[in-house]
């Protein structure tokens, strides 16, 4: 049976500002995607067919990520806690996690495509960059399995493993970008330098904040002897149970990563569509 908490009569000011921010950013991101798509269509006659095909692939993958993040912004939820903002089946953890899985696989595929196409420019490091590009998608498949384990069992240890896997993937991309940065020139080098900065910031965030947060949550649950669900129990629970809350205390632990993920993360995805690339690298 579905369990719902009473929705508070008023929404805290902080939560109202945050959800408004998410809605505005989502609308902006969708508009930005259409602008990027229009720009790509206009460029068709000025780039090689191979490069146009690569960027079209990136555009489709970006659409999945942009749409997934917009969905999660409008119907925010926290998986293990089973909390959500709206009393709707769209807010169920099973639906939200499924959307997130598709979006995240599309996002990591964008990075894999970029590295695979840029690898020839790494010269002596081309083989290493190619191998890294092939590792990214399998790594995140594993991360998604860890995430689903956490969602179904409500055990934060699955999140620890999930976020650690994402951290490893980001470290591999950092290494690949360093190899490329030493070999490339001009706009390509500038793009790689900016990407190195953002990836470095992400890596630090994951190591210093995100992974430790889930380690702390798991430790607290362990000390309190919290019982976990079986996978079978979790399937039904994740589909039916949702706790509607608009309390700052319930959401404040999710606000930092959600805000960055649904804004900066989407902008990175959009930037990958038009990433500068030598025509030869797209063949």
CA pair distance 175, 281, nearest whole angstrom: 19
CB 276 within 8 A of CB 188: yes
Where is 90: in which H helix or E strand?
A: none
> In this predicted model, what pLDDT tens digit does every residue of 176-196 receive, in sequence order?
999 888 877 777 778 888 889
Please name the fold of domain 13-282: Rhopdopsin 7-helix transmembrane proteins (1.20.1070)
Q: What is the pLDDT along the chain (283 residues), one digit of tens a residue?
A: 455 554 444 678 899 999 999 999 999 999 999 999 999 999 999 989 999 999 999 999 999 999 999 999 999 999 999 999 999 999 999 999 999 999 999 999 999 999 998 888 778 889 999 999 999 999 999 999 999 999 999 999 999 999 999 999 999 999 999 988 887 777 777 888 888 999 999 999 999 999 999 999 999 999 999 999 999 999 999 999 999 999 999 999 899 999 999 999 999 999 999 988 755 445 4
Give the domain ranges of the chain.
13-282
Report if pTM > 0.85: yes
CA pair distance 168, 30, nearest whole angstrom: 30
- 43 phi and psi angles, rounded to 5 deg: -85, 0
Checking phi first, is residue 103 left (phi over 0); if not, alpha (psi -120 to 50) or beta? alpha
**pLDDT for residue 3:** 52
Helix (H, G, I), strand (E, B) or coil at 244: strand
Checking phi first, is residue 123 left (phi over 0); if not, alpha (psi -120 to 50) or beta? left
Sign of the alpha-carbon torsion through 45, 46, 51, 56: negative
Q: At what angle do helices 13-42 and 49-74 cross, to 10 degrees?
A: 160
**Within 13 Å of residue 127, how many CA atoms lie on the same side as its CB?**
1
CA pair distance 27, 72, nearest whole angstrom: 13
Q: At what angle do helices 126-153 and 157-181 cross, to 10 degrees?
A: 160
Long-range pairs for 187-192: beta carbons < 8 A, 24 or more residues apart? 187/276, 188/118, 188/121, 188/276, 188/277, 188/278, 190/276, 191/275, 191/276
């Amino acid at each position: 049976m579905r369990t719902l908490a009473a929705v508070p009569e008023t929404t805290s000011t902080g939560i109202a500002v945050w959800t408004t921010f998410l809605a505005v950013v989502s609308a902006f991101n969708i508009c930005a995607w259409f602008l990027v798509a229009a720009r790509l269509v206009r460029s068709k006659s000025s780039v090689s067919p191979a490069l146009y095909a690569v960027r079209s692939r990136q555009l489709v993958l970006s659409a999945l990520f942009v749409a997934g993040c917009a969905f999660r912004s409008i119907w925010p939820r926290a998986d293990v806690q089973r909390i959500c903002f709206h009393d709707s089946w769209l807010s169920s953890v099973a639906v939200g996690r499924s959307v997130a899985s598709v979006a995240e696989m599309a996002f990591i595929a964008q990075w894999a495509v970029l590295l695979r196409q840029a690898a020839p420019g790494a010269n002596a490091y081309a083989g290493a960059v190619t191998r890294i590009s092939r590792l990214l998608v399998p790594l995140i498949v594993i991360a998604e399995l860890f995430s689903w384990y956490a969602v179904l069992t409500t055990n934060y240890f699955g999140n620890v493993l999930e976020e650690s896997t994402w951290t490893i993937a980001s470290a591999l991309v950092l290494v690949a970008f360093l190899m490329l940065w030493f070999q490339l020139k001009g706009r390509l080098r500038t793009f790689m330098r900016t990407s190195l900065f953002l990836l470095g910031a992400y890596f630090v965030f994951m190591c210093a904040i995100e992974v430790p947060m889930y380690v702390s949550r798991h430790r607290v649950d362990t000390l309190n002897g919290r019982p976990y669900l079986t996978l079978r129990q979790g399937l039904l629970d994740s589909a039916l149970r949702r706790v509607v809350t608009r309390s700052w205390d319930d959401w404040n632990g999710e606000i930092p990563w959600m805000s960055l993920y649904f804004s900066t993360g989407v902008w990175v995805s959009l930037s990958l569509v038009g990433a500068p690339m030598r025509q030869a690298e797209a063949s």
